[in-house]
Structure 1
């Protein structure tokens, strides 16, 4: 990431030994267990080793009842860093979660949010964060501003701060913005025009942009006209130190297949499950188990009712990343799903799958 902060000229304010403190806007942050958390905290960990101090503005996840989560990721945050927990998107609160269980409320809420919330459903967080961020920057201690998305609300906040303080700004895109059909969907034309306008304002105002794949970088250059010199690629990866004490071995009494992460409508293992069910119907004595960790467990509870599979399921729910690494090592086969029609995505967990050294089977609609 330090390459992303190299100056255009010797006169740039982001050059030299003064690069010591960075203000980070990160919505997904421990104890949240979302996939983007790991990239963010590893940036903090290794920037600290290069002499950077980080102040993080993150949500107060305790308001959502989350007091435990990604302990291994949290352990990567240096003690010298500062984490200020501020507010929460409205639909993350306990009350909102309770109302969300009502079907009519959910349908109305979804339609209203999709049409009116700007730039996304996390917009309320910006109202809470901006006053605090202004006070932090008035200390004159922070020489670089860093924002990471999704959600794009982080970049929206950074855009306001850039305009007010002129602070050098690095915008990290863990996924594309309006080009991300998996997350962004197909909004009305009027809404897409509004979102594109904001997206291009971010590209113009940011001093450096980080893409997480070369394909994403190419999209920014070719489709959005971002100058190539402004963009660097920092891929996801794995931290070798996370695997230092991993010593698990696969069980000897069964063949364990493991998946970690989330499933979506176009991002699920339906084809694999069908094949596995047919195999088990033909070989009912086969000692095979399917272990799921993460929010994929919720999908499984709602969608897997096949008697050939239900007795073979092991649903672990959300578990700390330290336990994920042990689980990967304790598996015979790792399952990876790839979203249909997405050419730019490389999920962060794939790097950890590869590091585990276990065989991987991928469910995808094309060679990847």
Structure 2
């Protein structure tokens, strides 16, 4: 294998600091880890800094969406880096199939990759799939330069796509046929990906940085609320959530969902004559998590996510690290069970009636029920930068 300092790694990721989102964690942690091992590292991402002048310790090339989308807001929710979709659905589909959902960012970052490569030749590209656009950048760059690339999946890879899934899957297979290897965050999904795409597959976990949670100031509410941060959709057991809300309604405890609206959850709630409050996805999720009455974690166990044996785990670690009483409604990954068992403020309950009783008990405890164990969750997963480094060096 080549010496570490001779393998220049380019990481392509839609999310990166200072964006406070689970999408940023994997790229930031692995970039730091690879650089600490001695790799030259360049990150190709979106410019999420806005008016903040942040000095990057690493080489970070940020494409500014304002160049093609003047209304871009770095801390807006939902995250928008493209102009509104064209009126022609066929044109939108064609553009998405060619470049993924963030076509202009993909084109800009591909140009950035070419520029970086001219001045400091890239040895290998690691593209993190928060979307197809990241993989398309690496695919096109590899086709132009012959530089190998590794396709990473940090999320259930087929979870959030709607409509013409067969066409999207065909494009994905076309891209991945050229990848030197795949990396995954979950062993169950890695096995599926290996069989589906016939590529060497490694399980690489990036660890979790708890520093953001440690410094966050709790955002307190006037009343006790059950809070879920993130989207609730077809991949979740919305029926179970609705049953829990039904049991809590007589106690005046409201569920607040910070995320996109879910018709499935709304229908389940309506059928039981109850409701939950929908709030926009917050730009300060750590503050909300620390200030909530109780946090609700709903593992992704339906559809493609069920093949993984549960959700990925980063969101669970964020909730655990908040120190807020946390209810896990349903099954977790076995590794997450091991973490939760060490934390007195976390309960894993599948029966909605029993779950409601536990939440009511937390309200009675008030702040006495709060603990602060961010490091227990943070250290549950060691950094896997060394494993990723070995993989990239073998390929490069």
User: Which of 196, 203, 223 in structure 2 is aligned with 1:223?
Assistant: 196
Q: Which runs of 5+ in 2 are unaligned?
A: 77-83, 332-348, 351-396
User: Which of 249, 254, 263 in structure 1 is aligned with 2:232?
Assistant: 263
The whole-number CA distance in structure 1 between the counterparts of 2:8 and 2:32 is 13
8 Å CA contact retained: 1:258, 1:334: yes
8 Å CA contact retained: 2:226, 2:256: yes
Q: 1:27 is paired with a residue of what secondary structure?
A: coil
The whole-number CA distance in structure 2 between the counterparts of 1:319 and 1:202 is 33
TM-superposed deviation, 1:277: 3.2
Over the aligned positions, Cα root-mean-square deviation in angstroms equals 4.2
What TM-score results when the alignment is normalised by the length of structure 1? 0.67
8 Å CA contact retained: 1:211, 1:232: yes
Matches within 5 A, 1:1-368: 10=1, 15-19=2-6, 21-30=8-17, 32-60=19-47, 67=50, 78-87=56-65, 94=71, 108-110=87-89, 112-114=91-93, 117-119=96-98, 120-175=100-155, 177=157, 180=158, 182-185=159-162, 187=164, 191=167, 195-196=169-170, 198-226=171-199, 230-235=200-205, 237-245=207-215, 255-267=224-236, 269=238, 271-280=240-249, 283=250, 286=251, 288-293=253-258, 295-296=259-260, 303=266, 309=275, 313=277, 315=279, 317-324=281-288, 326-327=290-291, 330-338=292-300, 340-341=302-303, 342-343=305-306, 344=308, 346-347=311-312, 348-356=314-322, 358-362=325-329
How many pairs does the alignment contain?
313
The whole-number CA distance in structure 2 between the counterparts of 1:39 and 1:257 is 28
Q: Which runs of 5+ in 1 are unaligned?
A: 1-9, 98-104
Q: 1:239 is paired with a residue of what secondary structure?
A: coil
Q: 1:118 is paired with a residue of what secondary structure?
A: helix
TM-superposed deviation, 1:217: 0.8
TM-superposed deviation, 1:108: 4.8
TM-superposed deviation, 1:142: 3.2
What TM-score results when the alignment is normalised by the length of structure 2? 0.63
TM-superposed deviation, 1:88: 7.5
TM-superposed deviation, 1:272: 1.9
What is the aligned partner in structure 1 of residue 376 from structure 2?
A: none
8 Å CA contact retained: 2:13, 2:127: yes
8 Å CA contact retained: 1:257, 1:288: yes
Q: 1:28 is paired with a residue of what secondary structure?
A: coil
The whole-number CA distance in structure 1 between the counterparts of 2:132 and 2:294 is 38
8 Å CA contact retained: 2:286, 2:322: no
